[in-house]
């Protein structure tokens, strides 16, 4: 693909040889001749002069200048342009169209046109799979589950009975949607009685869920993941949780039962949210934080328990100094005792 074609498709302003042939997209440091690279995070600005790429996607700030011999593609959001450019040069290899003869599709399941269903896939009674959806090998779709159009369900996913999945949803491998929530009532002898978990789970359109993440089913009500939300690997979403739209949830986050995560929230890796609380629209949760109480919309919280992020940072600085601070208090006690004695003697 020529640089001009790439510039046109990305809507970038090109400064450089428009006939240059580009073969792939690569990182600033790894790129060589024939490669397109990008600079989005200013943190990597000092790597820009040394790149060996043939072209670089940049923002509009002319202070960010490519080295001699490297063309520039300028636009408002270089990261979005990079995301699209990657798609020009790479593509997966989905299983062949059609339903593999080594699958087990129930007689009364509805399978849409132009699907790909791999080997050892089970599609249960009354389940439905939409048009053009790709199901990789060894996936289990339970009885009555529904999957929309243009979805990609990778190997080893379990979509349990009755789960509803929208259009253009991507499940990475090993995702489990609709496993039983962790609900028990403890009797007078301390035995834990299972509360049957048979209510609804809804995954809305354009959601992506990472490898081995688990989304549980509640006893009553529903568990819901809103449209456009993206969830990373090994995340736990408990029964009855409601996640809004365009939420970003990084790896190994845990969200306890019946919590509400509003639209546009961002949760960093290994953080957790208590049950029955609310994280307000657009709020951010720092890495490894434990959110024990509801969070206001737009807030940024960190720590265990989670508090205002800036307050946490400042308190963390003093935390390191605690042994010294304690010593200073001890010295003060010494000095004040001496003063008191002196004063008593005068």
Among positions 164-223, residues that touch a copy of itself (CB under 8 A) are 170, 172-174, 176, 179-180, 182-188, 190-196, 198-199, 208, 210-212, 214, 216, 219-221
Q: Which two tokens stand for residue 114?
A: 């132009």
Based on the shown chain and the rule CB under 8 A, indicate whether residue 252 belongs to the binding site for a copy of itself. yes
Q: Compute the least distance from the CB of residue 179 to a copy of itself, in Å.
A: 4
DSSP codes of every residue in 73-138: EE-S-HHHHHHHHHHHH----PPPSEE-TT-EE-TT-EE-TT-EE-TT-EE-TT-EE-TT-EE-TT
**Contact (CB, 8 A) for 130 and 167:** yes
Torsion-angle region of 278 (φ positive above 0: left; ψ -120 to 50: alpha; else: beta): beta
3-state secondary structure of 31: coil
Q: Give the x/- contact pattern for a copy of itself in 230-249, rule: CB under 8 A.
A: x-xxx-x-x-------x-x-
Residues within window 270-329 making contact with a copy of itself, judged by CB under 8 A:
270, 272, 274, 276, 287-288, 290, 292, 303-305, 307, 311, 314-323, 325-326, 328-329
Q: Compute the least distance from the CB of residue 72 to a copy of itself, in Å.
A: 19
Q: Report the catalytic residues.
A: 239
Q: Which is nearer to a copy of itself, 95 or 112 (CB)?
A: 95
Residue among 72, 40, 37 at smallest CA distance from 51:
37
Q: Compute the least distance from the CB of residue 326 to a copy of itself, in Å.
A: 5
Residues within window 85-144 making contact with a copy of itself, judged by CB under 8 A:
86-87, 90-93, 100, 102, 104, 118-120, 122, 124-125, 136-138, 140, 142-144
Query: Among the candidate windows 6-14, 15-23, 58-66, 72-80, which touches a copy of itself by CB under 8 A?
Result: 72-80
**Contact (CB, 8 A) for 281 and 244:** yes
Q: Which is nearer to a copy of itself, 113 or 190 (CB)?
A: 190
Is cis: bond before 285, omega within 30 of 0? no
């Amino acid at each position: 693909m020529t640089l001009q074609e790439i510039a046109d498709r990305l809507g970038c302003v090109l400064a450089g040889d428009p006939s240059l042939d580009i073969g792939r997209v690569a990182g600033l440091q790894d790129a060589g001749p024939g490669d397109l690279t990008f600079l989005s995070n200013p943190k990597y600005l000092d790597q820009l002069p040394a790149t060996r790429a043939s072209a670089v996607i940049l923002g509009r700030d002319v202070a960010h200048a490519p080295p001699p011999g490297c063309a520039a593609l300028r636009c408002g959001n270089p990261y979005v342009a990079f995301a699209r450019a990657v798609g020009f040069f790479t593509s997966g290899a989905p299983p062949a169209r059609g339903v593999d003869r080594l699958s087990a599709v129930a007689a009364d399941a509805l399978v849409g046109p132009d699907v790909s269903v791999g080997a050892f896939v089970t599609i249960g009674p009354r389940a439905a799979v939409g048009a053009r959806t790709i199901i990789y090998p060894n996936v289990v779709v339970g009885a009555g589950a529904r999957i929309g159009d243009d979805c990609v369900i990778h190997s080893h996913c379990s979509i349990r009975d009755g789960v509803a999945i929208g259009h253009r949803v991507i499940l990475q491998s090993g995702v489990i949607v609709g496993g039983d929530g962790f609900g028990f009532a403890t009797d007078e002898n301390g035995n834990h009685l299972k509360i049957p978990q048979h209510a609804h789970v809804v995954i809305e359109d354009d959601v992506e869920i990472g490898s081995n993440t688990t989304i549980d089913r509640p006893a009553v009500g529903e568990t819901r993941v809103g449209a456009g939300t993206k969830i990373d690997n090994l995340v736990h979403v408990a029964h009855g949780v409601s996640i809004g739209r365009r939420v970003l949830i990084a790896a190994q986050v845990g969200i306890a039962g019946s919590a509400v995560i509003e639209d546009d929230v961002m949760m960093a890796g290994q953080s957790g949210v208590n049950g029955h609380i609310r994280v307000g629209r657009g709020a951010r949760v720092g890495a490894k934080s434990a959110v024990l109480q509801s969070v206001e919309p737009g807030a940024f919280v960190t720590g265990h328990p989670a508090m205002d992020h800036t307050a946490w940072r400042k308190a963390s600085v003093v935390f390191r100094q605690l042994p010294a601070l304690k010593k200073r208090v001890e010295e003060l006690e010494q000095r004040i005792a001496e003063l008191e004695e002196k004063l008593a003697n005068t």
